[in-house]
Structures are given as C-alpha cells and as structure tokens.
C-alpha cells in the first residue's frame, strides 16, 4: 500500500492578521493544491503529527512522543473544540508496533491537542473530526529535546507500523519552518508563568484570551510595519531541498542548539515534517509533488506546504 504526506506550517495568526502583498492568496492556492492532492489520494486514515503549545502537554509530565488513542482539541485561537475522530484500533496498533521497534513513546486515552493538530485538519479536511485519525504528538516546544535523529527513527517505526495496516494512510505534519513566536520558557519564568507551563490545563477564558492577544499583537505589529520576527528563508529552503531529495539522514548531525540559533525556538516543529517523511520513505522511494514556501513575518512563520507520495513506478 502506498503512503502519502502533506506537511504544512500552522499559524493561528492566519485568522486575524492580514499579511502584506499577495501572501494570503499564495497560501490559499497552495492549500487548495494540498487539498486536491489529499482528495486524490483518498486516504482512509490520516496520521496527524503535530506539536503542542502548552495547551495539552505540560511540564508536570512532558513526553517526547505520545500517541492519542482518544483525543480532544481545546479550541484555541478560534479552532474547533471537541473530540477528533480517532481510529482507536489503528492508534493502539501504532503504539504497540512503535514500542516493539525500540522507540519509547507515551500513549494517552485522553490526549488534549491544540491548533497544532486542529488547524491543518480544518484546512485540509474541513473539520477536526472529518477523517479517521491517529494523533501523534512530538514535543517541539518544551525544552529539552532528544536528538533530531530520534524523530526520524520514530518516523521510520511509524511508517513500518502503518504499512502493516495495509490501508491508504496519509501523514499530515504540522508546524515550522523557521519561526519564533512569543512563547514563554520554563527557564527564568516568574512563578505564575512557570505554574502555567507545569500544569496550565483549563485556563479561564480571560487567561486564554490574554495569551492569544499577546501573540496576535505581535503579528499585528509586524503588519503595521514594525520590524519582523527573525525568519531564516535560506535555512527553510535548505530543509525543503533535503526532504525533496530524500536526504533525511542529513538532519542527523543537526544539533538542537544549532537549529534554535539558525531558525528560532519554534523551528523544532520541523521534527513533525521529518517524522512524516521518514515514515513515507519506509514505503519505498517517494516523490515530492508540491512544494510551497514563503516567509510570512506577519504570521510569524517561514510558511511551507509540501505534498509527497510513494513513487508509483520505482
Ligand atoms: O501561542 C501559541 O501557542 C503560538 C502560536 C503560533 C504562532 C505562529 C506560529 C506557530 O507555529 C504558532 O504555534
Ligand atoms: Fe506552532
């Protein structure tokens, strides 16, 4: 059975901030292409690989990786709130097979997810519960992280587990590329911020609104002409080339310090892309069908969208 991949940056600012020029039109067109690609592939299972931003996962127990055998979205930044249509059997299969392949991962019968999962599901399929899904969380925000190669190996184990299902599986990777939105860090945080990062579940509506306003204001400031956030288009394009050319092991030598320095704290979200492509590669040689890139400072994102699938005649 073939596998397919769609990866897309996410940014909740897409809803509230108008970028200059034709960025909006270009991104819309790229998403339309990705939607057509996904529809064409006719997946009967979507494996969503995404990070969290202190909405579902906290420092009271932060797993590097976690598969949800059931999952619910918090509804941050205007995304839908409520359960994902988790294919429980498939999710359990993935947990069993990945563990058997020597990769430790957590599982959750009540995984809580945020815009990292919800936004691409809504943009690609219209709703968070429109497709049978297996949600795979990769910690890309709460330092420290394991080496990048570990996420590539997670992707390989994931790919082998999915091939064994003998279904049409689309992997949907969410996040990146270079960017650094104003997220707090535990290191040096004042006590009330630290408490929120350690166990910040169920914020009051006011707390959530305050936090979202801070990020939105950062985007609006750029849209009104203030100096933009640090993006690194060269780094982003090099990453896209690496994926297009199937040189996934080249990322094995990247240190986390280097990624942060080159591309920003949230650039670690590209781990989700790497895992998806490593999974895809287990089905045989693949071809990237679509690749979009645009640095969009107003959305605080080096914004990329790719589609790829197993080569039909290898
Ligand atoms: O407040 C948050 O949770 C961060 C929101 C956010 C903004 C820009 C790019 C992202 O990838 C992202 O996640
Ligand atoms: Fe993010």
Please state the ipTM of this predicted complex.
Answer: 0.98
Q: What is the pLDDT of residue 172?
A: 99
- Reported as a single tens digit per residue, the pLDDT across 266-302 is 999 999 999 999 999 999 999 999 999 999 999 999 9
23 Cβ contact list (under 8 Å, min separation 6): 294, 296, 298, 299, 303
**195, HSE (Cβ side, Cα atoms, 13 Å):** 5
Give me the active site residues, please.
115, 179
Sheet holding 111-113, edge to edge: 81-83, 71-74, 111-113
Instruction: Indicate which ligand has the atom closest to the C-alpha of 14.
Output: 1
Q: What is the pLDDT of residue 229?
A: 83
- Reported as a single tens digit per residue, the pLDDT across 147-178 is 999 999 999 999 999 999 999 999 999 999 99
CA 91 to chain centre: 18
Report which protein residue has its CA nearest ligand 1's atom 10.
11
Task: For residue 223, give the nearest of 23, 10, 8 by alpha carbon.
Answer: 23
Task: For residue 306, give the nearest of 114, 173, 200 by alpha carbon.
Answer: 173
Ligand 1 cavity residues, CB under 6 Å:
10-13, 53, 175, 179, 181, 183, 215, 266, 269, 300-301
Residues in the chain, pLDDT under 70 = 314
Measured in Å, residue 231 CA sits from the centre of ligand 1 at: 14
Measured in Å, residue 181 CA sits from the centre of ligand 1 at: 6
Record the pTM. 0.98
């Amino acid at each position: 059975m073939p596998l397919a991949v769609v990866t897309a940056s996410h940014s909740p600012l897409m809803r509230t901030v108008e970028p200059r020029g034709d960025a909006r039109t270009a991104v819309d067109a790229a998403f339309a292409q990705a939607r057509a690609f996904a529809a064409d592939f006719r997946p009967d299972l979507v494996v969503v690989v995404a990070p969290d931003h202190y909405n579902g996962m906290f420092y009271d127990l932060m797993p590097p990786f976690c598969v949800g055998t059931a999952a619910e979205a918090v509804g941050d930044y205007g995304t839908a709130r409520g359960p994902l249509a988790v294919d429980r059997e498939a999710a359990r299969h993935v947990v069993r097979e990945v563990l058997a392949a020597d990769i430790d991962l957590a599982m959750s019968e009540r995984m809580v997810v945020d815009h990292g999962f919800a936004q691409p599901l809504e943009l690609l399929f219209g709703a968070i519960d429109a497709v049978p899904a297996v949600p795979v969380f990769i910690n890309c925000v709460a330092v420290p992280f394991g080496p990048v190669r570990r996420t590539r190996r997670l992707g390989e184990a994931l790919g082998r587990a999915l091939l064994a299902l003998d279904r049409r599986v689309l992997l949907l990777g969410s996040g990146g590329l270079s960017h650094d939105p104003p997220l707090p860090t535990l290191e040096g945080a004042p006590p009330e911020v630290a408490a929120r990062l350690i166990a910040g579940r169920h914020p009051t509506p006011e707390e959530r609104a305050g936090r979202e306003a801070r990020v939105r204001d950062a985007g609006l400031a750029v849209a009104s002409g203030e100096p933009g956030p640090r993006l690194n288009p060269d780094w982003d394009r090099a990453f896209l080339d690496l994926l297009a050319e199937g040189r996934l092991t080249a990322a094995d030598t990247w240190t986390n310090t280097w990624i942060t320095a080159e591309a920003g704290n949230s650039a670690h979200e590209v781990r989700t892309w790497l895992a998806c492509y490593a999974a895809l590669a287990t089905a045989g040689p693949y071809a990237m069908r679509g690749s979009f890139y645009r640095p969009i400072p107003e959305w605080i994102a080096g914004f990329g969208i790719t589609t790829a699938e197993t080569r039909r005649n290898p």
